[in-house]
Amino acid sequence: MWLIITILANLLNGVVYLADKYFLSQKVHSSVSYAFYVGIWSIGNCVLFIFNRHIPTFGWLLLDLLAGLIFMAALYFWYKALHQGETTKVVPIAGSFIPFFTLLLNFLIGRHNLTSQELAALIILIVGSGFVSFNPHDTLWHKWWIKIKKFLQPHKASMRSTGRLLFNSLVASFVFATYYVFIKFIYDSQGFANSFIWTRLGSFLGALLLLVPARNRKLIFNRPRRQATVKSWPLFLGIRLAAFIAFVMTNFAISLADVSLVNSLQGLQYLFLLIIVFFMGKHYPKLLKQEINRDNIWHKLIGIILINIGLFLLL
């Protein structure tokens, strides 16, 4: 059951990330503002309190709120990365590193409960995600070394931008992994229904904390940005609803299965993203040619085969 839920959640997330990139590039033009608008809607989840009136003890409440704050921090860095680069560049990094960081954190805290078959599936899925996500030329170490050297040159503004994109993507991946490992502990202790609402309240408080720096307030309450957001309100609400459904499905899957296994399927987001880009190739021909071409098609096919093998092992 958790496997189907996770696959559907990743499909929804692929659509949501494309829409988020559209809002960041065409409407809001500020990762801080967008993170605030998204986070502030977390308060709407408190409506679910009608169906579950559980109130945790003070200690558990603090942990629930902390989990929500961590998720909000992850969103902040995620939107910074998404604002700085194409969705097809940011999602692959997250798809590869979130499972890696999740597995690492689980080992460090001693919460690794995988069977040998599940561990094999997890490794195959992570490797498959890497094959699907990265172009073959980009993974050569000497080319990365050239990029690092160029990044260190102060006059290379474009490389500094690439460096910031990579930094924010990696930080977002690590913080997301931290959230997932932490929330798994909370769900195992309190149950999914009893803690979900309170973690959303934590994200709402995290959004309010974005208002503390004066610079952030200036960006968030910038009139043109607010007007652009208001004009796109129906689309924004539709995307947030899709994001909410995907978020609930992912968290519910985590409450049912090992968090490392759930996150090992992050690479599916990029796979679904490729499919969406393929069918929208008429509108984004340059992006389609960049992501699917003669040089990397076999690379991606190997990744798809590995992902299918990993999924088969989980069935």
Q: For the segment 107-121, what is each residue's pLDDT rounded down to a tens digit?
A: 888 776 777 888 888
The count of domains in the chain is 1
What is the domain range of residue 109?
2-314
pLDDT confidence band for 305 (50 / 70 / 90) = confident
273, 91 in Cβ contact below 8 A?
yes
Q: How far is CA 270 from the centre of its chain?
A: 11
pTM above 0.85, yes or no: no
pLDDT confidence band for 48 (50 / 70 / 90) = confident
- The contacts of residue 201 (CB under 8 Å, 6+ apart) are 42, 43, 45, 46, 64, 65, 68
266, 14 in Cβ contact below 8 A?
no
195, 60 in Cβ contact below 8 A?
yes
Q: What percent of the chain has pLDDT over 90?
A: 33
79-104 tens-digit pLDDT: 999 988 877 778 877 877 888 898 88
Identify the pLDDT of residue 283.
Answer: 63
Which amino acid, one-letter code, is at 30?
A: S
Identify the pLDDT of residue 162.
Answer: 65
- The contacts of residue 164 (CB under 8 Å, 6+ apart) are 80, 84
Q: How far apart are CA 121 and CA 264, in angstroms?
A: 9
31, 80 in Cβ contact below 8 A?
yes
pLDDT confidence band for 289 (50 / 70 / 90) = low
- Note the helical H segments in the chain: 2-22, 31-40, 58-84, 87-109, 116-133, 141-151, 157-190, 192-209, 214-220, 223-231, 233-256, 259-263, 267-279, 285-291, 297-314
| The residue to which tokens 């609930």 are assigned | 248
CA distances 59 to 56, 66, 219, Å, are 8, 11, 35
| Mean per-residue pLDDT over the chain, rounded | 81
26, 37 in Cβ contact below 8 A?
no
